[in-house]
Structure 1
Amino acid sequence: MNRPDTITLTGITAIGYHGVFGHEKRDGQPFVVDAVLHTDVSAAAATDDLAKTADYGAVAETIAGLIRGKSFDLIETLAVRTAEAILAGFPVISAVEVRVHKPKAPIQVPFGDVEINVFRSRT
């Protein structure tokens, strides 16, 4: 079986209100999402037709909307809901990897980033 084509979006950033602490839900903080969209781009490349591929601009808007939207306690929930929304909204995408970064997580020791990575597919 051939390896699927991918489209990668990195660094989609928005202020979200996710976290278990009251100040996280009240004040918000930046969340950064990367997504790898697994899709066959052959038909789009052959016809040069956007309708036959994943509209990554629309995917980015979906991701940003989820970051800014409903508050979740866990970034795990945000990651899974984002993957589910991408698969539900973009039928040409067969699988998706979503990585959510929480660079300002309330951790009391020096750190570079906190991230969760999920993979979801239609099969």
Structure 2
Amino acid sequence: MTRPDTITLKGVTAIGYHGVFDHEKRDGQPFITDVVLHLDIAAAAATDDLSKTADYGAVAEAIVALVTGDPHDLIETLSTRIAEKLLADFPVLDAVEVTVHKPKAPIQVPFGDVAITVFRSRSAAGEAVPA
């Protein structure tokens, strides 16, 4: 069950090599990631203990590792991999919302941004599942 507490991390930026075109995989481009972490922060707040919440510095590092890691054709794949990794690495999370922006996508008309948002939560068995 998703609890009302959230941690939001916006604008995590890294150069990645994702896209369907050869030049995207060769030259790279910036990807900007925003995440909303859904969790119960009551224990962390009561004890002032970082181990009882999601360390957003470690979250940012995990995001950058995936953006700069193995290339994917689609940012749909990248955003899903980020969500799965965060749920796997941070057991305090009930759910995550991940938005990956590709502001320099190869689109032939003027545009401001392209972004994919995925929401993943834990099932009763502890597996990541689409919400």
TM-score of Structure 1 vs Structure 2, range by shorter chain: over 0.9
In the alignment, the residues of structure 2 paired with residue 2 and residue 14 of structure 1 have an alpha-carbon distance, to the nearest angstrom, of 29
Query: 2-side partners of 1:113 and 1:15: how far apart?
Result: 16
Relative to structure 1, the CA distance from residue 121 to residue 114 in structure 2 (aligned partners, 3 Å threshold; closer, same or farther) is same
Give the corresponding residue for 1:112.
112
TM-score, normalised to structure 2's length?
0.92
| Distance change in 2, residues 1:3/1:90 (3 Å) | closer
Q: Distance in 2 between matches of 1:17 and 1:110?
A: 22
Distance 1:2 1:76 in 2: 23
For 1:6 and 1:36, the matched residues in 2 are separated by 6
SS of the aligned residue for 1:70 comes to coil
Q: Percent identity?
A: 75
Quickly say closer, same or farther: Cα 1:43–1:103, change in 2 above 3 A: same
Unaligned runs of 5+ in 1: none
Structure-to-structure mapping, 1:1-123, within 5 angstroms: 3-123=3-123
Give the Cα separation in 1 of the matches to 2:24 and 2:117: 21
Cα-Cα RMSD: 1.1
2:106 maps to amino acid: P
Where has structure 1 moved over 4 Å in runs of 4 or more? none
Q: In 2 relative to 1, CA 2–84 (structure 1 residues): closer, same or farther, beyond 3 Å?
A: closer
CA drift of 1:4 comes to 2.1
- State the Cα distance separating 1:82 from its structure 2 match: 0.3
Q: TM-score, normalised by structure 1?
A: 0.98
Q: Deviations over 1:78-122 (max 9, x none)?
A: 000000000000000110000000000000000000000000000
Measured after TM superposition, the shift of residue 3 of structure 1 is 4.3
